[in-house]
C-alpha cells in the first residue's frame, strides 16, 4: 500500500475508533497516527488468530484497522487517565 493509502486508512480508522471509544475525536493528526498504529496492531492481532491483516484500501482492511485503533485508543486512555495533574 502506498503512503497516501495508509494515511487515508489511518484517518478513517482513527476517526471511527475515537467515536467508538470516547465519542469524540482526538484531533486530525492524533486520529491519523493512532489509526495507522491501530492498523499495524490490528494486522498483528488478526495474524495471531490466523486471519489476514491489512491487505489494501478495502472494507476488510478498514475493519482490521478500526479494531486495532480501538485497542490502541483504549490503552491510550487507560494510560493517560492514570496521570495525575499536579
Helices 28-48 and 3-22, packing angle to 10 deg: 90
pLDDT > 80? residue 86: no
Q: By the 8 A CB rule, do 53 and 41 touch?
A: no
**pLDDT tens, 51-74?**
877 777 788 888 888 888 888 888
pLDDT band at 85 (very low <50, low <70, confident <90, very high): low
Give the other-Cβ count within 10 Å of 8's Cβ: 16
CA angle 57, 53, 67 (to 5 degrees): 85
> Phi and psi at residue 56, in whole multiples of 5°?
160, -165
Query: C-alpha cell of 36?
Result: 495507522
29 compared with 61, residue with greater pLDDT: 61
Amino acid at each position: 500500500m502506498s503512503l497516501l493509502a495508509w494515511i487515508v486508512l489511518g484517518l478513517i480508522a482513527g476517526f471511527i475508533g475515537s467515536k467508538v471509544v470516547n465519542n469524540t475525536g482526538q484531533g486530525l493528526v492524533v486520529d491519523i497516527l493512532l489509526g495507522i498504529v491501530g492498523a499495524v496492531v490490528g494486522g498483528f492481532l488478526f495474524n495471531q488468530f490466523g486471519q489476514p491483516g491489512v491487505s489494501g484500501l478495502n472494507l476488510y482492511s478498514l475493519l482490521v484497522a478500526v479494531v486495532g485503533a480501538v485497542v490502541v485508543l483504549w490503552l491510550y486512555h487507560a494510560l493517560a487517565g492514570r496521570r495525575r495533574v499536579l
